[in-house]
Amino acid sequence: MPTLNSRRCRLLAGVLCLTACGVDTGPEPAGTEVPAAASMDLATARWVDLSHPYDASTLYWPTSPSGFELEQLAWGPTEEGYFYSANRFRTPEHGGTHLDAPIHFAAAGRTVGEIPLERLIAPVAVIDVSARAAADVDYRLQRQDIAAWERRHGTIPTGTIVLMRTGWDEYWPDPLRYLGSDAVGDASDLHFPGFGEEAVRLLVEERGVSMVGVDTASIDYGPSQDFIVHQIANGADVSGLENLTNLRELPEWGAWLVALPVKIAEGSGAPVRVVALLPAE
């Protein structure tokens, strides 16, 4: 049976199965295990779409030179009598539900096309700070938030994808509520939650996570001007997922994440379809 270094994919009797065999989870307390997905086949598992669609309402960073554009190239019956449609689309890398590759803030970082699959398909931990974010629009994930999660579930295993749930997706696609400002071309007065510097250092330097993500416009909080979270994460070869949605449907632990970006060879980012795989029960 063919294997991947840290995860295996098997097709048995026509049913796709994922398994956690070989994942390096590092030292863990009793009861903390990478959720095996070998029994989560497509016939019984539940899939959750964590991506916003791309259309005319898709939000981009305020300084983005353009948004999503879809140009119709063909639509209707052909001379031969069959129906045919085709479009051309255009989009900046960083907008909508997208992935930030390490090269986004690290000169020696990997491009989108260089990110290994094992960093894009992995167990997912969800840290819910929606109550704190509701009370503080500029809330940043703290080390104590991670500690509280680990008291319930054990140490976050190496290779995990960690998502921060703020509840901000309910404001999409209203730029004033989602970004804190609807000023075009001006990103100097944005307000939304994100990861804190010490929290992301813990995740990437001590836990060895493979990716971090959030249901806001940036893994850095809105007022950030130095994007220190991007610098730390990308500098440690950790990609970021931004503008996620539906994180409320995921458990804190027990699901797997599949985040496959458009494979732009030299890209610093790319649109990404993110889905979670949950056990039927």
Q: Is the pLDDT of residue 17 over 50?
A: no
Output the pLDDT for position 44.
85
Of 33-42, 47-56, 81-90, 228-237, the poorest mean pLDDT is in 33-42
pLDDT in tens, 201-226: 999 999 999 999 999 999 999 999 99
Assign 8 a pLDDT band (cuts: 50, 70, 90).
very low
Alpha carbons 62 and 138: distance in angstroms, whole number: 18
Q: Give mean pLDDT, residues 72-101.
A: 98
Q: Is the pLDDT of residue 74 over 70?
A: yes
Of 14-28, 41-55, 176-190, 242-256, the poorest mean pLDDT is in 14-28
Output the pLDDT for position 32.
56
Place of tokens 């096309």: 113
Q: Give mean pLDDT, residues 122-127.
A: 98
pLDDT in tens, 156-204: 999 999 999 999 999 999 999 999 999 999 999 999 999 999 999 999 9
Examine the residue annotation and report whether 104 is marked as an active-site residue of this protein. yes
Q: Is the pLDDT of residue 30 over 80?
A: no
Output the pLDDT for position 279.
87
Q: Is the pLDDT of residue 139 over 80?
A: yes
Alpha carbons 190 and 221: distance in angstroms, whole number: 8
- Looking at residue 247, its amino acid is L
The mean pLDDT of the chain is 89
Cβ atoms of residues 240 and 219 within 8 Å: yes
Catalytic residue among 52, 94, 104, 230: 104
3-class SS string, the chain: CCCCCCCEEEEECCEEEEECCCCCCCCCCCCCCCCCCCCCCCCCCEEEECECCCCCCCCECCCCCCCCEEEEEEEEECCCCCEEEEEEEECCCCECCEEECHHHCCCCCCCHHHCCHHHCEEEEEEEECHHHHHHCCCCEECHHHHHHHHHHHCCCCCCCEEEEECCHHHHCCCHHHHHCCCCCCCCCCCCCCEECHHHHHHHHHHCCCCEEEECCCCCECCCCCCCHHHHHHHHCCCEEEECECCHHHCCCCCEEEEEEECCCCCCCEEEEEEEEEECCC
* Per-residue b or e along 72-91, where b marks 16 or more CB atoms closer than 10 Å to that residue's CB: eeeeeeeeeeeeeeeeeeeb
- Domains of the chain listed by start with CATH number: 24-59+93-278 (3.50.30.50)
Residue 266, CB half-sphere, CA atoms under 13 Å: how many? 0
Of 31-40, 69-78, 85-94, 233-242, the poorest mean pLDDT is in 31-40
Alpha carbons 176 and 138: distance in angstroms, whole number: 14
Q: Decide: residue 220, CB within 10 A, 0-12 exposed, 13-18 middle, 19+ buried.
A: buried
What are the phi and psi torsion angles at 11 (to 5°)?
Answer: -115, 105
pLDDT in tens, 50-70: 999 999 999 999 999 999 999
Q: Is the peptide bond before 173 cis (omega within 30 degrees of 0)?
A: yes
Q: Which one is predicted more confidently, 14 or 187?
A: 187
Q: Which one is predicted more confidently, 281 or 167?
A: 167
Going by their DSSP bridges, the two strands 269-278 and 239-242 should be labelled as unpaired
Question: Which is nearest to 31 in space by CA: 152, 125, 149, 210?
Answer: 152
Q: Is the pLDDT of residue 144 over 60?
A: yes
